[in-house]
Amino acid sequence: MKKRLVTTMFAVAAVAATMSTGVMADDAHVIGVAMPTQDLQRWNQDGSNMKAELEAKGYTVDLQYAGNDVTTQVSQIENMIANGDELLVIASIEGDSLGTVLADAKEKGIPVISYDRLIMNTDAVSYYATFDNYLVGKTQGEFLVNALDLDNIEGSVNMEIVTGDPGDNNVNFFYGGAMDVLQPYIDAGKIVIPSGQVSKEEVATVNWSTETAQQRFENILSSYYADGTVLNAVLASNDSTALGVENALAANYTGEYPIITGQDCDVANTINMVNGLQAMSVFKDTRTLASKVVEMVDAIMTGAEAPVNDTETYDNGTGIIPSFLCEPVAVTVDNYKEMLVDSGYYTEDELK
Ligand code: BGC
93 lines ligand 1 (CB under 6 A): no
Q: Is the CB of 116 under 6 A from ligand 1?
A: yes
* Residues of the chain predicted below pLDDT 70: 1-27
Burial class (CB in 10 A: 0-12, 13-18, 19+), 90: buried
Residue 28: the pLDDT is 84
Whether residue 238 has its Cβ less than 6 Å from ligand 1: yes
- As a three-state string, the secondary structure of the chain is CHHHHHHHHHHHHHHHHHHCCCCCHHHCCEEEEEECCCCCHHHHHHHHHHHHHHHHCCCEEEEEECCCCHHHHHHHHHHHHHCCCCEEEECCCCCCCCHHHHHHHHHCCCCEEEECCCCCCCCCEEEEEEECHHHHHHHHHHHHHHHCCCCCCCCCEEEEEECCCCCCHHHHHHHHHHHHHHHHHHHCCCEECCCCCCCCCCCCCHHHCHHHHHHHHHHHHHHHHCCCCCCCEEEECCHHHHHHHHHHHHHHCCCCCCEECCECCCHHHHHHHHCCCCCCEEECCHHHHHHHHHHHHHHHHHCCCCCCCECCCCECCCCECCEEEECCEEECCCCHHHHHHHCCCCCCHHHC
Ligand 1 proximity of 244 Cβ (cutoff 6 Å): no
Question: What pLDDT shows up at residue 12?
Answer: 34
* Residue partners of 224: CB distance under 8 A and separation at least 6: 194, 195
What is the pLDDT, as a whole number, of residue 22? 54
CA angle centred on 42, ends 37 and 47, rounded to 5°: 65
- Ligand 1 pocket member 22 (CB < 6 A): no
Q: Are 121 and 263 in contact (CB under 8 A)?
A: no
Q: What is the pLDDT of residues 325-351, one digit of tens each?
A: 999 999 999 999 999 999 999 999 999
CA 238 to ligand 1 centroid distance, Å: 7
Protein residue with least CA distance to atom 5, ligand 1: 208
